[in-house]
Amino acid sequence: MTKKNKYAIGVDLGGTTIKLGIVTNSGRILKKISVRTQAEGGPKKVIGNIISGINELNAKSKYKIEGIGIGCPGVVTPGKGIVENPPNFPGWEKINIGKIIFQEFNRPVLVDNDANAAAIGELTFGSGKNYKSFIMITLGTGVGGGIVMNKKIYHGDFGAAGEIGHISIDYKGPKCNCGSYGCIEAYAGNQYLRHRVRHQLKKHPESKLWKIIGNDLSKVSPRNIQGAAESGDAFSKSVIDELGVYLGSAFASLVNVLDVSVFIIGGGIAGFGKPLFDSIKKTISRRVMAPIRPRVRVLPAKLKNDAGIKGASALVFHHN
Amino acid sequence: MTKKNKYAIGVDLGGTTIKLGIVTNSGRILKKISVRTQAEGGPKKVIGNIISGINELNAKSKYKIEGIGIGCPGVVTPGKGIVENPPNFPGWEKINIGKIIFQEFNRPVLVDNDANAAAIGELTFGSGKNYKSFIMITLGTGVGGGIVMNKKIYHGDFGAAGEIGHISIDYKGPKCNCGSYGCIEAYAGNQYLRHRVRHQLKKHPESKLWKIIGNDLSKVSPRNIQGAAESGDAFSKSVIDELGVYLGSAFASLVNVLDVSVFIIGGGIAGFGKPLFDSIKKTISRRVMAPIRPRVRVLPAKLKNDAGIKGASALVFHHN
């Protein structure tokens, strides 16, 4: 088997850390490192750090590298490797990372938005393997999305497609940091969720969550909510159920518009597990037309740790 | 010019009437007829009526017909001509209309959902000519939708994509006849609109609409609302403005998900004209990210009368 292995470098460009790994075409990480992003130093600094990271990773490497995949924040021009205005990267407008890294290493370089890379990761190595079309959602600080249609990422005309987090489920709902109202990110994004639960918890003095957080509201977190729910706390269970209603309502609109009925969910909050997935599925089923219901699937992402590195490397294997 | 013309037959299959026409490749109707659908007679009867309609239309015709395009309700299997469960067509499950009509006339037969045919009509002859990607919405009894991506209809895995009318803008909103809540059809569909306005009007004794409807609430209609708005009635203006907020909110979600920023709007209620279009555009602009705003276009459909026949014929010209 080892003889048939192919190898790629996956680069997960984050706001504070760049994670890099050598990954096999079956999704196994052979070696990995982290370097600081130093985004405040501007694009030259960041790209210099990517290059020295790749050099460090690849030093004395015995692997023939097929290519380098980079997952990064911001809008990526489809097929061009140009990264536009990644949030929290000052001094950055449009930079052709793909071209610069190619010139340095003379290997194919594939660049995509991190949420799209996560989707390609699931398609290549994970829960999306057996599906032609699915929607990947990553629940974290924000709510990232990637749309896979016919085994390819749907990028849209300008590379900005897939912003599932900014589907509004209530046009008069809570203000989202994107400027709109009622986006699911404004319900399911980590900070929004904590904020809402802190507020709701005050009306539930009976909740076991109080004990878990030691009566300190600043300690409300997805992990603590999950802990309370698992110990049977009705309030915490209702929080998870409600989150499923929010997400499921947005997903039902997507089913109706895109005729895609498979949803793969990753990121920290996906750790709520079965109760969350059941609530999402029940909500979608109630809100889409009867013939579609049997096709609806809501699956946990398979790639957990190092999903960023694996997804980025999958850009290379998927392209070949 | 006439020498270069090509000709197709467009068939607009409706619940009560089948409209048929011979259409040039520049979208001009040379001859048209209507026959009764007799949907209650089951699929054999309906298809018999289509066939005799085509025969009647084409009798003594001097035109060489390139093909036959059929726009019909229900879900159409992409590229197969199979029509599934059209609403209000009893006794129908899956019928391969395309094959049956082909066997009868031995000309290429292209079948698509009527909302998709309307979109292809605008792409071929109308407001969509200069755009690679756009979303077509037809505002009538229902709210129909067609998604054009890269000059092609996006059908989805099972042909059920494009149900723009069933994007929910309020997960706790009014119940829609599809079973979900807060779908834009439940705000903008003709009956829903009339119902809501009747209800709201009671709180506005000062509205000029009362005079136009002769104090008879059953006479509330889009045309009357438009008349009152044009005569300066603040209440009727607010109804049109509010409708733009509903539609614009749904469209903003679509922009974020699909990165498509051109919307073409047809159907009776689109007759509200500029005030409606301005409100939709303002709402979208407020709800999508700043770099996308300059790309947003909200355009009236160009095909008005006989849009169904022209759209169906466009299926043929677009395919060739």
pTM (predicted TM-score): 0.93
In chain B, whose CA is at the least distance from the CA of A288? Answer: B180
Contacts of A156 in chain B (CB under 8 A): 133, 258-260
Taking the C-alpha atoms of residue B314 and residue B320, their distance in angstroms, rounded to an integer, is 10
**Mean pLDDT over the full length of chain A:** 94
Please check the confidence at residue A48 and state whether its pLDDT lies above 90.
yes
Taking the C-alpha atoms of residue A161 and residue A153, their distance in angstroms, rounded to an integer, is 9
Taking the C-alpha atoms of residue A266 and residue A138, their distance in angstroms, rounded to an integer, is 5
What CATH number has the domain spanning B129-300?
Answer: 3.30.420.40
The fraction of chain A above a pLDDT of 90, given in percent, is 86
The confidence score (pLDDT) of residue A4 equals 78
A vs B: CB pairs below 8 A = 121
CA dihedral B115, A292, A258, B78 (to 10 degrees): -60
- A283-304 pLDDT, tens digit per residue, is 999 999 888 899 999 999 999 8
Q: For residue A104, which phi and psi values (nearest 5 degrees)?
A: -75, -40
The confidence score (pLDDT) of residue B159 equals 87
List Cα–Cα distances, A154 to A182, B103, B257, in angstroms. 24, 37, 10
Q: Inter-chain contact A260–B156, Cβ cutoff 8 Å?
A: yes
Q: Inter-chain contact B133–A157, Cβ cutoff 8 Å?
A: yes
**Residue position matching structure tokens 């059809």:** B185
Residue B156 has its nearest CB partner, among A170, A182, A259, at A259
Pairwise pLDDT comparison (A84 vs A245), residue with the higher score:
A245
Answer whether A133 touches B (CB < 8 Å).
yes
Beta bridge partners of A299: A264
Residue A133 has its nearest CB partner, among B157, B162, B171, at B157
The tens-digit pLDDT sequence of chain B (320 residues) is: 445 799 999 999 999 999 999 999 999 999 999 999 999 999 999 999 999 999 999 988 889 999 999 999 988 988 899 999 888 899 998 999 999 999 999 999 999 999 999 999 999 999 999 999 999 999 988 899 999 999 999 998 888 899 999 999 999 999 998 899 999 999 999 999 999 999 999 999 999 999 999 999 999 999 999 999 999 999 999 999 999 999 999 999 999 999 999 999 999 899 899 999 999 999 999 999 888 899 999 999 999 889 999 999 999 999 86
Fold agreement between B2-114+305-319 and B129-300: yes
The confidence score (pLDDT) of residue B3 equals 58
Domain ranges of chain A: 2-114+305-319, 129-300
Answer whether B161 touches A (CB < 8 Å).
yes
Average pLDDT over residues A30-38: 96
Architecture of domain B2-114+305-319: 2-Layer Sandwich (3.30)
List Cα–Cα distances, B202 to A78, A240, B208, in angstroms. 53, 41, 12
